[in-house]
Structures are given as structure tokens and as C-alpha cells.
Amino acid sequence: MKLPNFFKKNKNYFLGQLFPKIKFKKNILIEDIKILKKAGKKDLTFFDSIKYKEFAMSTKANYCLTTENLKKFLPKSTNPILVNNVLFELATILKKMYPTADIDYPDSTLKLPKKNQFKDVKFGNNVLVGKNVKIGKNTIIGSFSIIEHDVIIGKNCVIGSNVIIKNSVLGNEVIIQDGCKIGLKGFGFIPLKEKNFKFPHVGKVLIMDNVEIAGGCTIDRGSVDDTEIGKNTYLDNQVHIAHNVKIGSNCMIAGQVGFAGSSTIGNNVSIGGQAGISGHLKIGNNVKIGGGSGVIKDIDDNEVVMGYPAISFKDFIKNWKKKWVKQK
């Protein structure tokens, strides 16, 4: 299935137009901005952290925004464009190419669904649907929900009341309970002395089959990449998932867990309530994270952790016993 483009691109730009102060041997036309592992020869990519060295070394892009100390990791076929602040330059280019992606503008195409517009779909009262929306058979959408333009919802889904879905693609048999907000702009800013610069978010939210999302959850769309929720995963009430987060299959996420941007969560992961996952981390498969934990570093497969900062469960119990004995 071809995924929709939710944001209209202004136009394609030549390198010289994007970087007028730099002279290029070949002034090629840039078709899009993509992350290192997805970029092709006609795309511009970016490399701002040593964490992504593996992807930098194998990128197919001809040109890459990066810094002096990181350029050595790029393949010979990739030309570095050296800048002081990669993310600021990236945000500036995205704003130029996708001028409507820095704010969630109201969808002017929203209307009450017409009779027989969607076959075998049941709507509650005052549901609004945007242009080019696709909804599968036997799906139910609760009252006062909003489905914005180009959203795709699969078969046998249940969407609760007062739900907003935009910039998203949902699989089959997905359940989204009341009050959820899916596909809104993420919390992305470039801190500057004069004024913080908003980072445009041009990605999507992809929710696979048989996912259940409980009441009041918020899932931000990706910035340059997509935010993804794997099949058979369950989110409890008031979970927040930031831009670009990837959550694997068969995960169980308890209430009020928060994920910062660009972290990757493996399969069969369980996370207790009110835990926090820092950004740009990799959590392995079969990991268990105790409630109230603060995860600030990568976790290997099959680990059980707890505490703030999160440490192995065995060490957490040892430390707790020592502290309890002293207090006694």
C-alpha cells in the first residue's frame, strides 16, 4: 500500500538555492529530506550524532548535512555539507520545502460524512471527516471525533469519542479509546538566544494491526522519519509517545509512561506506570522496566531494570535493602 503524503511540498530545490554561500561541483536537484538509512541519491540527509554512525557509514545519499568532527564516518560517495548547527540548518530547509509543517493548521476540508460515503462504517454524532480519507469495513467511529484529510483507517477498527486522528495510517482491528490525539506535531524546537526556532514535522504515525490505545493517549507524528507502533501492542491511559519513536510488537505500556523523541523499543517489552524513556535510546527485546523508572541509557535484550536512573533489578533491590537497613 502506498502511504499518503500529508504535507504538500513547496517545490524541489537545487543545492545552490538551499546553500547560496557554498559552491558545489554539481548543483543537483534535491527531491526530499530523509534520514540516513532511507535517503537516496536525490535526497539530502543529515548526520548530527555519533549514535547514528552505523547508518552514516552506509547511507546512499549524495549529500549530507554534518559537522567537521563527524564527516569522517561518511562513505566516499557522500559529500559532506559542513555546518555549525545541523538541526537548525535542517529545520530551516524543511520550513522552506514544507511551509505548513511547523504548525497544526485546521483542516479546511472537514465535513460531516455523506450517506453511503463509507461502506459498512458506523459514525456517532457530529463526526467530521476530511478529504481523501479511507476507512475500512465494519469500523466504528464515536461521536465528536475528527478524522483529517488523507488518513487511512483499516477494517474492524473501533475509534472512540472525541478522538483526533491526523497524518496517520492505521491497520486493521485497531482500538483507539476516547480522547486520544494521534498525529499532532511533536515538541521540536531549536533553542536560540533571540527566539526558539520551531522544527517542522513532516512525518507520519503508523499503527499496525491489533493495537489498542487506551483513553487520553497522545502520539506525535515523526519529524523527518515516522512514529510507529507495532502489532499487538497495548497502551494504557495517558501514555505519551513523541516524534520518531518506534515501539515493537507485543508490548505492554502502563499508564502515564512518557517516551522522548527518536527512541526505539524492541518486541515483547513491558513498561510499568509513570516510567520515562529518554530520547535517542535503544531498548532491546523482552525488556521489563519497573514503574516510575527513569531510563537514560540503552538497555540490552532480556534485561529487567528499575529505579532512577534505571539499573538492573537485582542492583535496585540490593540498594533498597542497604538503605532500609540503615534507616532501621
pLDDT tens-digit series, residues 97-112: 999 898 899 999 999 9
Q: Exposed, middle or buried, 293 (CB in 10 Å: 0-12/13-18/19+)? A: buried
Query: Confidence band (pLDDT; 50, 70, 90) for 326?
Result: low
pLDDT above 70: residue 327 = no
pLDDT above 80: residue 324 = no
pLDDT score at 26: 81
319's grid cell: 540498594
pLDDT above 70: residue 156 = yes
Cα of 111 vs its chain's centroid, Å: 28
Q: What is the mean pLDDT of residues 179-203?
A: 90
Query: Confidence band (pLDDT; 50, 70, 90) for 186?
Result: very high
Q: What is the mean pLDDT of residues 155-171?
A: 98
**Whole-number Å distance between alpha carbons of 93 and 85:** 13
Question: Which residues are tagged catalytic?
Answer: 243
pLDDT above 80: residue 10 = yes
pLDDT above 60: residue 270 = yes
pLDDT above 80: residue 8 = yes
Query: Confidence band (pLDDT; 50, 70, 90) for 292?
Result: very high
What integer best gives the mean pLDDT of the chain?
Answer: 94
pLDDT above 70: residue 69 = yes
Per domain, the residue ranges of the chain are 13-97, 122-315
Instruction: Name the architecture of domain 122-315.
Output: 3 Solenoid (2.160)
pLDDT above 60: residue 328 = no
Owner of C-alpha cell 534520514: 35
pTM reported for the whole predicted model: 0.93
CB burial of 4-39 (b: ≥16 within 10 Å; e: otherwise) equals: bebbebeeebebeebbeeeeeeeebebebbbbbebb
Q: What superfamily would CATH give domain 13-97?
A: MurE/MurF, N-terminal domain (3.40.1390.10)
Nearest to 316 by CA among 298, 291, 297: 291
